[in-house]
Amino acid sequence: MTTYKDRAAAPTGRLTLAEILEIVTAGEVPLKFTAYDGSTAGPEDAVVGLDLKTPRGTTYLATSPGELGLARAYVSGDLDMLGVHPGDPYDLLRAMAGKTDFKLPPARVLAHIVASIGVEHLLPIAPPPQEALPRWRRLAEGLRHSKTRDAEAIHHHYDVSNTFYEWVLGPSMTYTCACYPDADATLEQAQDNKYRLVFDKLRLQPGDRLLDVGCGWGGMVRYAAKHGVKALGVTLSAEQASWAQRAIEEQGLSDLAEVRHGDYRDVRESNFDAVSSIGLTEHIGVANYQSYFRFLQSKMRPGALLLNHCITRPDNRTGPHAGGFIDRYVFPDGELTGSGRIITEAQDVGLEVVHEENLREHYAMTLRDWCRNLVEHWDEAVAEVGLPTAKVWGLYMAGSRWGFESNVVQLHQVLAVKLDERGGNGLPLRPWWTP
């Protein structure tokens, strides 16, 4: 019997696509693979798998080995995922995780692979239209994290369709990590509990003023207003602002709540009693953290609290840039760093950090429930945004779920206070909120 090692050491004849896959993965094919040339690889009894359907898919995989090539082939319809629903391919991604590391074979073997698939498949072709431009070409929208370029990046992700988001996110229209009071809680209960937790950590009282930057569809703003707080939210997404203002009016909260379409850096008001930033830090760029925290501090009265809620890396050494799929299909220009860097930057502008916690497992559960919603509304979602975009969302959310479960990423809430002139913070000696 000829094994992949035999073929890799002394390949003869034209290699099939399955044989090439076995060579570049060193025989580690954790799922069933089938290809349009009739070849197969991987365990015969595997319940999940990949089906390479077209020569164009081969070009995507050959010109961009790894997650970006796989994403291109999948989104374009040239690669199918077997045994999973496209709205939640979690089981397949978990099977692949850490087991499909592409390795460059020796030069002689590589030459044989090229001869087998054809040189034409090594010439790059246009990616699917759902893909954002590479970083270097985004200069047309301005320097990274300029107001113009940030607005374009937010538009790419958040202005998909409010109807689509209603199906995926549920009635709360909250696109950030929930906080589950128990394992059996529903998504809506968990999102309401998250807003309750933020509200309580900020020690908000009726009559206080809250600034919520990167406010999304205004969930925190509306929660605060329902509890007597005058709340101002700001978002770069025109679709979010329009939806949020309509919800504010329908719920009779216009006297206390407002959501503006604009950049948080354009907020002129100050002397807020509290500031919340829930899911914005990922978009502003690590190099801008100091100016970000300094700006938020300038909007706070002495004794005011800041709650910063964002996705982080599990360490403070890894570079900030996202992988190819996330950067090109999900969050253009998004950057992540460790919670230590976030705490350091907040402290370095003079804020006193009084508490932080990691809600990593809660985000995995949140993504599980979002995928469940997408599966339930799959046909409507495809009709609303198209099959390729719906597939991007299923892939992104299921992959992110695995990322949180396996500690590739985390979710941290950092609570800080603006000290008065004497260095006082006016806070109770122990935490004043319940988990």
pLDDT score recorded for residue 386: 94
Query: 272-278 and 300-312: which strand pairing?
Result: parallel
Domains of the chain, start order: 4-122 (no CATH), 148-418 (3.40.50.150)
Long-range pairs, 54-61, Cβ under 8 A, ≥24: 54/78, 55/121, 56/125, 58/17, 58/117, 58/121, 59/120, 59/121, 59/122, 59/123, 59/124, 59/125, 60/125, 60/127
CA-to-CA distance for 226 and 251, rounded, in angstroms? 9
CA-to-CA distance for 224 and 198, rounded, in angstroms? 10
Strand (E) or helix (H) holding 75: helix 67-75
pLDDT score recorded for residue 30: 81
CA-to-CA distance for 378 and 411, rounded, in angstroms? 28
Instruction: Report CA 257 to chain centroid distance, whole Å.
Output: 27
pLDDT score recorded for residue 29: 79
**Spans of the chain, pLDDT less than 50:** 1-4, 149, 151, 153-157
| Beta sheet of 230-235, edge-to-edge order | 257-261, 230-235, 209-213, 272-278, 300-312, 410-418, 351-358
pLDDT score recorded for residue 147: 56
pLDDT score recorded for residue 103: 72
315: nearest Cα among 400, 411, 409 = 409
Query: Taking a C-beta distance cutoff of 8 angstroms, is the pair 390, 85 a contact?
Result: no
For the chain, helix (H) and strand (E) counts, in that order, are 18, 11
Tell me if residue 233 falls in helix, strand or coil. Answer: strand
Q: Between vectors from CA 404 to CA 32 and to CA 216, what angle results, nearest 5°?
A: 115
CA-to-CA distance for 69 and 34, rounded, in angstroms? 17
Contacts with 364 (C-beta within 8 Å, 6 or more apart), sequence order:
401, 404, 405
pLDDT score recorded for residue 149: 47
155: which 2 tokens?
């538009």
CA-to-CA distance for 202 and 187, rounded, in angstroms? 23
CA-to-CA distance for 400 and 392, rounded, in angstroms? 12
Beta pairing partners, 356: 414
Across 38-196, the runs of DSSP E, i.e. the strands, are 40-41, 49-52, 79-82
Across 330-370, the runs of DSSP E, i.e. the strands, are 351-358
CA torsion sign for 263, 168, 402, 386 is negative
Determine if the pTM surpasses 0.95: no
Query: Taking a C-beta distance cutoff of 8 angstroms, is the pair 425, 303 a contact?
Result: yes
pLDDT score recorded for residue 156: 45
pLDDT score recorded for residue 1: 36
pLDDT tens-place string over residues 74-93? 999 999 999 999 999 999 99
